[in-house]
Amino acid sequence: MADSLLNPVYHLYGNWLRKRLSPGALPQHVAVLADGNRRWARANAPEAPLVIGYQAGATKLREFVSWCQELGISTVTLWVLSTENLQRAATDELAPLLDVITNLVRKLTTDSSLKVQVVGDLTLLSSDAAAALKAAESASTPHNPSTQVNVAVAYGGRHELRDAVRTLLAAEAVKGNTLSQLATTLETDQIAAHLYTAGQPDPDLIIRSSGEQRLSGFLMWQSAHSEFYFCEALWPDFRYIDFLRALRAYAQRERRYGR
């Protein structure tokens, strides 16, 4: 069927799905592993540099955030660069990717209804790249933010837990508490208070594109009771309909929280 016929059909189907989603059944925090950008580039522009895939993925991330805003989802977390991805530093791929990510953060901050926060260990990046990201983040000056957007850069779940424990120990030392005292009094909420996403709700729904069915350490602590949705589409091909299907699947599940 030609695209000219498909588009109206998708539009009608999307409206049909949207109308059947109860606002009370929607997640309040959606996190996404935007996977498949390089594969998309190789399949769609094999002669072009891989950065074209990252650019297409960044465009889709901005679109995804707008979908979440439209539906009233208050917190969105986008994983765009893992600690493992930094191993690409030996190639010419990392610098263009960081430029795309920095531009993504800049563009998100132009929306005054978004509060944009970069989460991850920026000390793993070059000083110039880290400074550019922090400058882009600092441009976020929301007046009445309706949506919190976390952009996970140089992020790894184990890395986050390590950093949380380090900052927790340092804070306890300032208070004059010993390791022995901490060992007998430590509670989970104390660790949670030192995560990159401290003070935010845990993700209700985590989406991963490109057919991969693993979390790869994404939000290891926060995802204890999250629902997962895996989609075959490569991230730049992820459609509004795919998102609505993920939300429908979420709404149909009974969340037991381990009970």
pLDDT of residue 14: 77
Task: For residues 174 and 162, give the distance between their C-alpha atoms in angstroms, rounded to a whole number.
Answer: 19
Note the helical H segments in the chain: 3-19, 37-44, 51-71, 94-109, 127-138, 157-174, 179-185, 188-192, 240-251
Q: Are both 115 and 53 inside the same structural domain?
A: yes
Range of the domain at 50: 26-155+201-212+243-252
CATH number of the domain enclosing 78 = 3.40.1180.10
Q: Are both 104 and 147 inside the same structural domain?
A: yes
* Closest CA relative to residue 41, chosen from 30, 31, 56: 56
Q: Are both 184 and 205 inside the same structural domain?
A: no
pLDDT of residue 92: 78
Running DSSP on this structure, what letter comes out for residue 202?
P
In a domain, residue 125? The reply is yes
- Looking up tokens 């059909």, which residue turns up? 9
Q: Are both 207 and 173 inside the same structural domain?
A: no
In a domain, residue 224? The reply is no
Looking at residue 175, its amino acid is K
Q: How far is CA 159 from the centre of its chain?
A: 16
Q: Are both 61 and 78 inside the same structural domain?
A: yes
Q: Are both 79 and 116 inside the same structural domain?
A: yes
Task: For residues 98 and 55, give the distance between their C-alpha atoms in angstroms, rounded to a whole number.
Answer: 11
pLDDT of residue 2: 41
In a domain, residue 2? The reply is no
Q: Are both 136 and 181 inside the same structural domain?
A: no
pLDDT of residue 4: 46
Q: How far is CA 170 from the centre of its chain?
A: 28
pLDDT of residue 160: 97
Q: Are both 183 and 168 inside the same structural domain?
A: yes
pLDDT of residue 108: 96
pLDDT of residue 259: 64
Catalytic choice (7, 15, 35, 204): 35
Tell me the two tokens of residue 58. 């960044």
Tell me the two tokens of residue 106. 């800049």
- Measured in Å, how far apart are the chain's first and last C-alpha atoms? 47
The total number of structural domains that make up the chain = 2
In a domain, residue 138? The reply is yes
In a domain, residue 235? The reply is no
Q: Are both 43 and 79 inside the same structural domain?
A: yes
In a domain, residue 39? The reply is yes
pLDDT of residue 98: 95
pLDDT of residue 65: 98
In a domain, residue 108? The reply is yes
Listed as ranges, residues in the chain with pLDDT below 50 are 1-4
What is the dihedral angle through the alpha carbons of 11, 16, 19, 20, rounded to the nearest 10 degrees? -140
The number of residues in the chain equals 259
85 in catalytic set: yes
Q: Are both 188 and 66 inside the same structural domain?
A: no
Catalytic choice (7, 15, 44, 85): 85
In a domain, residue 147? The reply is yes
Q: The pTM is what?
A: 0.92
| 147-152: strand order across its sheet | 114-119, 147-152, 75-79, 29-33, 205-208, 227-230
Q: Are both 131 and 35 inside the same structural domain?
A: yes
Q: Are both 73 and 162 inside the same structural domain?
A: no
